[in-house]
Structure 1
Amino acid sequence: MQHDIFIGQVQARARLDSRGSAETATRASLETLAERIPASVSENVAAQLPHEIGEHLKRVASALDQPETGIRLSRQEFFDRVARRASADLPKAVHEARCVVEVADEATNGLLATKIRPLLDDELAEVLFAGSTGSA
């Protein structure tokens, strides 16, 4: 999937008013996800995404330098971070993050659900992957 198609899908699914808003939602969601998972997984998944999109996962993973584990975040903490990064209220941040994860999962042929969902707390995984097409 190409960058423009990815962002267009996020914009349409999240019902955002601009491509810039879709870019912001994508960056906020993937950077927060990268904090939560091991850097090796972030880099593996990033390699399957359009370069510009994957960089959101790789940049944070590299900065944290946590190759084995990510930062433990509750569902609330995770979505609070997404909301701060996206300058959005909490319900909007949850909706946008779910849309980003759904598009990213499709773009990686289910790799997100296969590799990342098992690394998350059940409560967070259920919310993020509610509409995913991957096998989990």
Structure 2
Amino acid sequence: MNYAEFLETVGKRARMPAPEAANVVGATLTALAEGIGGGEARHLATQVPEELRGYLYKDVDFAERIDLVEFLNEVGVRAGTNGERTAEGARAVLTTLREVVSAEDSENLESELPSDFRRLFRPVDRSVGA
């Protein structure tokens, strides 16, 4: 998946225009990199489109442990979104990231994060109750 496809996929999933999707992608990947080890972040960076690699790059191996609420707050501040909009955007980014990286790396990523993050790695089924 190239950069344009990544942004388009996130935008469609989160129901947001491309500029907003780009902001949410950058904010989510930056906050994610802070919450995982540097080795894992650098490894993920090798599997995403080149334009996104800088968001995942870390010089240190230290991971700042944050919970889901802190993570979403951080994404919202960086992306200029709030509430459900932030959660939908972060979910769209992480779901798309999960599709881009190998299954093994996706499992490693999820295992480095608190268990409440796992729901952000799955798409929302919008057809239920529609």
Q: Give the TM-score category using the shorter length.
A: 0.7 to 0.9
For residues 22-75 of structure 1, give each alpha carbon's deviation from its aligned partner in whole angstroms, at most 9, with x where no partner exists: 1101001000000000011000011001011122111xx23xx2x1x3101011
Q: How does 1:92-107 map to 2 (within 5 A)?
A: 92-107=85-100
1:127 is displaced (CA, Å) by 2.5
Matched length: 124
| Structure 1: segments with no counterpart, 5+ residues | none
Alignment-derived partner of residue 12 in structure 1: 12
The reply on whether 1:71 has 2:64 as its aligned counterpart is yes
Segment drifting more, 111-120 vs 75-84: 111-120
Structure 2 partner of 1:85? 78
The corresponding residue for 2:108 is 115
2:106 aligned partner, one-letter code: A
Cα distance per residue 1:59-106 (max 9 Å; x no partner): xx23xx2x1x31010111111101101111121111100100111111
Q: Among 90, 108, 122, which residue is 1:130 paired with?
A: 122
Q: Which residue matches 1:32?
A: 31
CA distance in 2, matches of 1:127, 1:81: 18
Is the 1:113–1:129 Cα contact (8 Å) retained in structure 2? no
- Displacement of 1:111 in angstroms is 4.8
Mapped to 2, the partners of 1:111 and 1:47 lie a distance apart of 14
Structure 2 runs not aligned, ≥5 long = 125-130
Q: TM-score, normalised by structure 1?
A: 0.84
**Hey, which bits of structure 1, 4+ residues long, moved more than 6 A?**
none
Provide the aligned C-alpha RMSD in A. Answer: 1.6
Higher relative contact order (CA 8 A, sep 6+): 2
Task: Report deviation, 1:115.
Answer: 1.8
Q: Report the TM-score, using the length of structure 2 for normalisation.
A: 0.88
